[in-house]
C-alpha cells in the first residue's frame, strides 16, 4: 500500500477513494468516491464541479487514444473472437475465418479506478492528470463515431486504463454505432476490456450493447483473495471481490441468449508470488458454477511499472494454472501470451 500511495502522491491523484463529508458521491464504480469541491475521484476522471458530478473535460468528450489495429489482432479474447475465428458468421462476422484486411478500432481510455502495481499501460494516469494532455487527447462523441463507421472497421474495443470511468461517454458512442450499423446492414461489434468494477446496472447495459452487436465483455479478474487483490490494485479488496462476482454472473447469465459467440471472457494475469494456482482454482470454480462454457484466458506476467522485482511467469506456473482451471470444471481454458513463458522458476 505504501508503494501505491507514493506513486499516486507524485501524480497528484487521490491516495485512496475520497470520503469527503459534504462531497458529491459518485456511483459509477465500486469505489463510490465522495468527492470534495473542486476535487476528483480515485480514477481522476470524475470531479465535483460546484456540487455537481461531471467528467474533468465535460460530458461528450473522452480522454483517449484510438488507432486501427489490423485483424486478427492480439486481443485477450482472440481464441473465441469472431475477428479471428469467424464465430457468428454471417450475422456477427465478415468471414467464416479470420477477418484479414480489416481493422479493430482500439480505444485506449485515460484514467482507471484501480492502481495496479503491474500496469502495462501506466501512461493513462499521466494523460488524465495533465490538462495539456487531456486537451490533446480529447475526442468528441461525433469524432469517435465517425472513425468507428469506417467500412474497414467491424469491431470497436474499449480498454485503457479502464473504460469504466468513461462509460457514460462510451455507452453513448456505442449505442450510436450499433444503431447506425443496423441501419446500414453492416457488422460493428462492441467489446469491452474491463476490470468489472462498474455498478451492476451499468455492467448490464455494457453487456447488452455487446450482446446485440456480436461483441464480447472481457473481465480481467486480478485475484480471488481480497488481500491479494488489494495489494496489487490499491483498492478495497473485499468490495472489489463481491462486485466482480456479481458482475461476472450478470454477464454470464446474459450469455445464454447468444451461444455462438461467448459474451463473457474472464482473464487472469499470473503474477508470480501473488496469483498462484490456488487463486486461479477459486476463480475458475466460481465461473464454472455459473457457466462452465465461459472461456478463461490466463495471461503471462512481464515485469513493468512498479512491480519490476519479479520474473516473468514461468511455464510451470502456467501449466499448473491450466490444470486446476480445467479440474474446476471450465471447458475452455487458454493462455493468451504464451510466448512470454520460459523456465524462470
pLDDT tens for 27-42 read: 999 999 999 999 999 9
Same domain, 152 and 24: no
Check if the beta carbon of residue 18 is closer than 8 Å to that of residue 34.
yes
Are 139 and 240 part of one and the same domain?
A: yes
Comparing CA positions, the residue from 174, 153, 266 lying closest to residue 217 is 266
Same domain? For 199 and 228 the reply is yes
Mean pLDDT of 92-113: 98
Same-domain pairing of 36 and 170: no
For residue 37, tell me if it sits in a domain. yes
Reported as a single tens digit per residue, the pLDDT across 194-230 is 999 999 999 999 999 999 999 999 999 999 999 999 9
Share above pLDDT 90 across residues of the chain, in percent, rounded to a whole number: 99
pLDDT at position 55: 97
- State residue 143's pLDDT score: 98
Q: Could you tell me the CATH number of the domain that includes residue 81? A: 3.20.20.70
Tell me the DSSP string of 298-330.
EEE---BTTB-SSPPPBHHHHHHHHHHHHHTT-
Residues 6+ apart with CB under 8 A from 334: 79, 295, 296, 297, 298
Domains in the chain: how many in total? 2
**Residues 51 and 67 reside in one and the same domain:** no
**CA dist 34 → 17, 24, 38, 132 (Å):** 8, 5, 12, 26
Question: What is the band of 329 on the pLDDT scale with cuts at 50, 70, 90?
Answer: very high
The per-residue b/e assignment along 141-161, b for 16 or more CB within 10 angstroms, e otherwise, is beebbebbbeeebbbbbbbbb
Mean pLDDT over the full length of the chain: 97
Residue 208 is predicted with a pLDDT of 98
Task: Indicate if 186 and 289 belong to the same structural domain.
Answer: yes
- Considering the domain architecture, whether residues 242 and 162 belong to the same structural domain is answered as yes
What's the CA gap between 56 and 251, in Å, rounded?
Answer: 30
- Same domain as 168, residue 49: no
Same domain? For 187 and 42 the reply is no
In sequence order, what are the residues at sequence separation of 6 or more whose Cβ sits closer than 8 angstroms to the Cβ of residue 128?
43, 44, 45, 56, 63, 110, 111, 134, 161
Would residue 234 count as lying in a domain? yes
The reply to whether 345 falls in a domain is no
Distance CA 89, CA 112 (A): 34
Distance CA(74)–CA(166), nearest Å, equals 23
Q: Is residue 140 part of a domain?
A: yes
Residue 221 within a domain: yes
pLDDT digits (tens, 9 = 90+) for 168-184: 999 999 999 999 999 99
Mean of pLDDT values over 224-246: 98
Q: What is the pLDDT of residues 288-305, one digit of tens each?
A: 999 999 999 999 999 999
Say whether both 145 and 65 belong to one domain. Answer: yes
74 pLDDT band, cuts 50/70/90, is: confident
Domain-embedded: residue 283: yes
Same domain, 295 and 333: yes
Q: What is the pTM of this model?
A: 0.96
First to last CA, the chain: 26
Q: What is the pLDDT of residues 277-286, one digit of tens each?
A: 999 999 999 9
* Residue 22 structural domain: 2-55
Stretch 56-65: mean pLDDT? 96
In a domain, 251, yes or no: yes
Gyration radius from the chain CA atoms: 19
Give CA–CA dist 76/329, Å, rounded: 21
In whole angstroms, how far apart are CA 121 and each of 55, 117, 201, 306?
21, 11, 27, 12
Cis bond before residue 326 (omega within 30° of 0)? no
Q: How would you write 98-143 as a 3-class SS string?
A: CCCCCEEEEEEECCCCCCCCCCCCCHHHHHHHCHHHHHHCEEEHHH
pLDDT of residue 322: 98
Cis link prior to 72 (omega < 30° from 0)? yes
Give the residue from 174, 125, 176, 127 showing the smallest Cα distance to 305: 125
Are 305 and 344 in contact, with CB atoms under 8 Å apart? no
Q: How far apart are CA 113 and CA 43, in angstroms?
A: 4
Rounded CA-CA distance 251/157 in Å is 17
C-alpha span between 174 and 206 (Å, rounded): 9
Tens-place pLDDT, residues 116-139: 999 999 999 999 999 999 999 999
Three-state DSSP class for residue 265: strand
* Lookup result for grid cell 470497436: 156
Average pLDDT for 262-274: 98
- Name the residue among 277, 274, 249 with its Cα closest to residue 263: 249
CB 153 within 8 A of CB 105: yes
Does 160 share its domain with 220?
Answer: yes
Is position 79 within any domain?
Answer: yes
Amino acid at each position: 500500500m505504501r508503494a501505491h500511495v507514493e506513486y499516486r502522491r507524485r501524480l497528484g491523484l487521490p491516495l485512496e477513494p475520497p470520503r469527503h463529508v459534504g462531497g458529491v458521491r459518485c456511483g459509477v464504480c465500486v469505489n463510490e468516491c465522495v468527492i470534495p469541491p473542486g476535487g476528483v475521484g480515485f480514477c481522476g476522471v470524475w470531479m465535483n464541479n460546484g456540487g455537481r458530478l461531471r467528467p474533468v473535460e465535460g460530458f461528450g468528450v473522452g480522454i483517449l487514444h484510438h488507432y486501427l489495429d489490423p485483424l486478427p489482432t492480439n486481443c485477450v479474447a482472440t481464441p473465441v473472437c469472431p475477428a479471428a475465428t469467424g464465430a457468428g458468421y454471417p450475422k456477427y462476422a465478415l468471414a467464416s475465418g479470420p477477418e484479414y484486411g480489416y481493422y479493430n478500432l482500439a480505444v485506449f481510455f485515460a484514467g482507471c479506478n484501480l492502481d495496479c502495481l503491474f500496469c502495462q499501460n501506466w501512461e493513462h494516469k499521466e494523460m488524465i492528470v495533465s490538462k495539456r494532455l487531456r486537451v490533446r487527447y480529447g475526442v468528441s462523441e461525433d469524432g469517435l463515431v465517425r472513425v468507428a463507421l469506417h467500412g474497414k472497421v467491424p469491431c470497436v474495443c474499449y480498454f485503457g486504463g479502464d473504460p469504466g470511468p468513461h462509460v457514460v461517454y462510451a455507452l453513448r458512442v456505442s449505442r450510436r454505432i450499433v444503431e447506425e450499423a443496423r441501419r446500414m446492414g453492416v457488422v460493428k461489434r462492441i467489446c469491452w476490456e474491463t476490470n468489472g468494477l462498474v455498478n451492476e446496472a451499468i455492467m448490464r447495459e455494457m453487456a447488452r450493447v455487446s450482446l446485440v452487436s456480436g461483441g464480447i465483455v472481457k473481465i480481467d479478474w486480478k485475484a480471488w483473495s481480497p488481500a491479494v487483490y488489494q495489494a496489487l490494485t490499491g483498492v478495497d479488496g473485499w468490495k472489489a471481490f463481491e462486485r466482480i462476482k456479481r458482475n461476472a454472473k450478470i454477464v454470464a447469465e446474459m450469455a445464454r441468449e447468444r451461444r455462438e459467440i461467448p459474451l463473457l471472457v474472464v482473464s487472469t494475469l499470473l503474477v508470480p508470488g501473488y496469483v498462484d494456482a490456488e487463486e486461479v482454482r477459486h476463480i475458475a470454480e466460481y465461473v464454472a458454477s455459473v457457466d462452465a462454457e465461459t472461456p478463461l484466458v490466463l495471461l503471462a506476467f512481464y515485469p513493468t511499472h512498479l512491480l519490476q522485482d519479479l520474473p516473468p511467469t514461468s511455464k510451470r506456473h502456467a501449466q499448473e494454472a491450466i490444470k486446476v482451471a480445467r479440474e474446476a470444471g471450465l471447458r475452455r481454458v487458454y493462455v493468451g501470451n504464451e510466448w512470454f513463458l520460459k523456465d524462470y522458476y
